[in-house]
Amino acid sequence: MSLNKDGSYTGFIKVQLKLARPVSVPAAKRGPGGRPGQRPAGVKRRTSFYLPRGTVKHLHVLSHTRASDVISALLRKFTVVDDPRKFALFERSEKDEQVYLRKLADDERPLRLRLLAGPDTNVLSFVLKENETGEVNWDAFSLPELHNFLLILQREEAEHMRRVRHRYARCRRELQAALAARTTG
């Protein structure tokens, strides 16, 4: 880390990306006939892929850089076009062979946390994960993503209904067999 004349400091933080879902990046610009740059107006194409497990990125940040700024910078580095609100920065620490994760507030300063914790990455490291607040910000998703969510939910609902019907049909058979055995015996 280095101290600036204004009292702020700069340094590097290391962030591990642990993303369970794919990220979206801009697709190559190809129009009809395969000619680059000739896409109809208003059409934004995306490609989604999974980042490799264990991906780590070092970022050069200032002491006043907020966690939300770190998330945006990481997404820019990988040209990810997903909404930054879909992601959260976590501090990871180890104590007594236990791993603890704490979600950083948007206005927390990761470089200050790193400085206070010292150089040991077992004491403190940073992880980028999907935002798991329990509250879903539906505005952060594109229409195709929302459509896919609906399809998945419909499939899950149909499978759940099939299981319930199967279970009740089995119970009905067992009850009918028990009643039949009781009336004949």
pLDDT, tens digit (0-9, with 9 covering 90-100), for 3-25: 788 888 899 999 999 988 888 88
Q: What are phi and psi of 62, to 5 degrees?
A: -100, 165
CA atoms within 13 A on the CB side of 55: 14
Partners of 36 in the β-ladder = 30
Domain locations along the chain? 2-136, 142-185
Please enumerate, as own/partner, the contacts of 160-166 that have beta carbons within 8 Å and a separation of 24 or more: none
**Of the CATH numbers 3.40.50.970, 3.10.20.90, 3.30.365.10, 1.10.3720.10, which one belongs to the domain with range 2-136?**
3.10.20.90
| Global confidence as pTM | 0.63
Distance from CA of residue 173 to its chain's centroid? 45
How confident is the chain (185 residues) per 10-residue block, as mean pLDDT?
A: 83 90 78 52 71 88 93 91 90 88 92 88 88 71 86 93 95 94 84
